[in-house]
Amino acid sequence: MPEARPLDPFRSERLVYRAVNDQPQDIAFIHSIQRDAEAQSGSSYALLRPESIKASTEFKDRIEKCLLGALICLPVTGLAEKDSETLPIGIICLKATPLSHAHHRNSDISIDIAKEYRGQGYGGEAIRWALWYGFQMAGLHRISIETFSFNEGAMKLYERLGFTCEGKHREAMWFNGRWHDDVVYGMLEDEWREEQRKAGNDV
């Protein structure tokens, strides 16, 4: 269910969201996410291959160019006012669109959660936060998210979060000897605000 935002716009119920810093521990975390073959096969069209530190560093640079690019973190002590007091467990982005497309006011969410933290509701919480940020802070009109047809868990999660299945690109991905559909989900600003009103949130 949608939830009210805390006073700190970069916190949700259990999580803290911070920038990716140019420091070894952040690069190492991104590298660990990008090296996860199971996650990458479920979220990218790219041909699966071993991940290099150089490629992970380049991915960090792409995160910084997103409309919103943040590490999903657990607070370790206190109020997590310092980056050193957070434990990264994932990455979430609202992708940037070219300036010539900015008037359309739409974006796509991408999310990766480290393997040991999956299945605990962190992904759904982070997506709800990104929806709030996109509609309430960034003034977006439409936010989409995609998955491949073999990822039934992701499809159920997106529908539970209020996304509408808008269609699919049939047999768009070749992986592990089979073709798979690219399934597209979307949410409009008015739909999000209506859910917020039903939940009694002030938006």
> In this structure, are residues 120 and 80 in contact, taking their beta carbons and an 8 Å threshold?
no
Question: Is residue 6 assigned to a domain?
Answer: no
pLDDT band at 45 (very low <50, low <70, confident <90, very high): confident
Tell me the sheet residues that pair with 143. Answer: 107, 187
> In this structure, are residues 182 and 148 in contact, taking their beta carbons and an 8 Å threshold?
yes
Torsion of CA 138, 73, 114, 14, to 10 degrees: -90
This prediction has a pTM of 0.89
Tokens of 107: 């974006």
Strand ranges of the sheet holding 178-188, from the earlier edge strand across to the other edge: 16-18, 68-75, 86-94, 106-113, 142-148, 178-188, 164-175
Question: Is residue 35 assigned to a domain?
Answer: yes
Per residue in 73-115, pLDDT (tens digit) is 999 865 445 545 899 999 999 998 888 999 999 999 999 999 9
Question: Is residue 163 assigned to a domain?
Answer: yes
Question: Is residue 78 assigned to a domain?
Answer: yes
Question: Is residue 84 assigned to a domain?
Answer: yes
Question: Is residue 11 assigned to a domain?
Answer: no
Identify the CATH number of the domain in which residue 162 sits.
3.40.630.30
Which helix (H) or strand (E) segment holds residue 109: the answer is strand 106-113
Q: How many CB atoms lie within 10 A of CB 72?
A: 27
Work out the average pLDDT over 138-144: 97
Domain span including residue 174: 16-198
Residue 190: pLDDT over 70:
yes
Question: Is residue 5 assigned to a domain?
Answer: no
More reliable by pLDDT, 157 or 56 = 157
Mean pLDDT of the chain: 88
So what's the pLDDT on residue 78?
Answer: 55
Which DSSP symbol is given to 11? Answer: B
Work out the average pLDDT over 34-58: 77
Question: Is residue 151 assigned to a domain?
Answer: yes
> In this structure, are residues 64 and 27 in contact, taking their beta carbons and an 8 Å threshold?
no
**CA–CA distance, 191 with 142 (Å, rounded to integer):** 10
Q: How many independent structural domains does the chain possess?
A: 1
